[in-house]
Structure 1
Amino acid sequence: MKKILGAVFIAMVLGIFAGCASKPTGDARDTSAYQQNLKMNLPAWADVQFKSGWNKGGYYWKGPVDEAGFFASGKAKYSDVSTSTSAADLDGKAQIAFFVKQELNAIAKQESDAADSDSKTQTAYKDFQSSVAQVKISGIIRVDRFIAEDGTVYVLMFVPSDEIKRAMPSDSEFSQKVMDIYVNGLNEDKD
């Protein structure tokens, strides 16, 4: 039973990574997450993580934030709206930290692999991984909140690219290169 539950959990985690790591193409209204949220009377951004550049056409979110950054939603349901909102905010912040760190590590791995077995690059890569694991991203703000009929509070959180850059290590040429690639990707396909 434990093996089955473990396999299901791993499959779910891999599915989440696959869904967030690949760039959405076409119209966001054609995605299953958008359609599901529509059917459930939820905002398009509920349970979705996206870069500001991916918000092409404003389908994920039509709010006033017009700068490079990363959006993630959080949710919680407790006995009162205030507690639920606080917990949802924490969930959204954790989602942002998790996905930003995952993407940075993926970019760092690609850059490290591209440099083959250069020992200097491999050392810089390992140092970067250690630094990223300990990073605390501040400056994350709530830009929207939705309360569902069942009392679940959904929040949309945003962190500007400047805050991500400020939090991440930039003590080496390798770190700087990874950050530049990441920040340039935040605005990819932006109107």
Structure 2
Amino acid sequence: MAEHTLRTRAARRSGWSRAGDALLTVLAAAGALCIVLVILAFTLNISLIMFSTGSMSPAIPAGSVALVREIPATEIEVGDVVTVDRAEGLPVTHRVTEVLDADGEQVTFTMQGDANADPDPAPYTVSQVRLVLGSVPHVASVIVRFQDPVVLGSLTLAAATLVTWAFWPRRTADPETEPRAGNQADPARAGSGPAHRA
């Protein structure tokens, strides 16, 4: 009976250990991804942008997150999807439809959203753009949720608890040192040996 209990406890510990290892692996992968993104941001001018509208659907639907790289405007070509900063209003990310003029580093071009019936109202003249390298749909809402202080604090606390649990020293049960059912004294048998005369 005692051996069965020890095996059950060991199996439970093993299950929790596997779950903890899996969570630690996920956290390590997420941390590594963050480090890679930071390195890319500083070395290659790569960053993330979120799409709140569906003007680039179906290629880039609303709620997508895109990886973009800042490049000189002289490198853009017709068909590229680029983000342009505007003096007034939010940046716009649409597809280049025509390159009109180039004056040194300044390039004038037109753009249009894939889902829009008409091109953008006026051409853009800029020296730098952010070229869309790729996108992942339906991720923006998750990233926005992670920016919530309560969610971020809870995740940090959970991660700290998990790491502490993973590296906390454990006492392994040794079956040889555990009491066994057969070694326990049986009161019913006390005095049941051969009778001795005084």
TM range (shorter): under 0.3
Higher-strand-fraction structure: 2
TM-score (norm 1): 0.20
User: Which structure: larger Rg?
Assistant: 2
Higher relative contact order (CA closer than 8 Å, sequence separation 6+): 1
In the superposition, the TM-score normalised over structure 2's length comes to 0.20
Structure number with higher helix proportion: 1
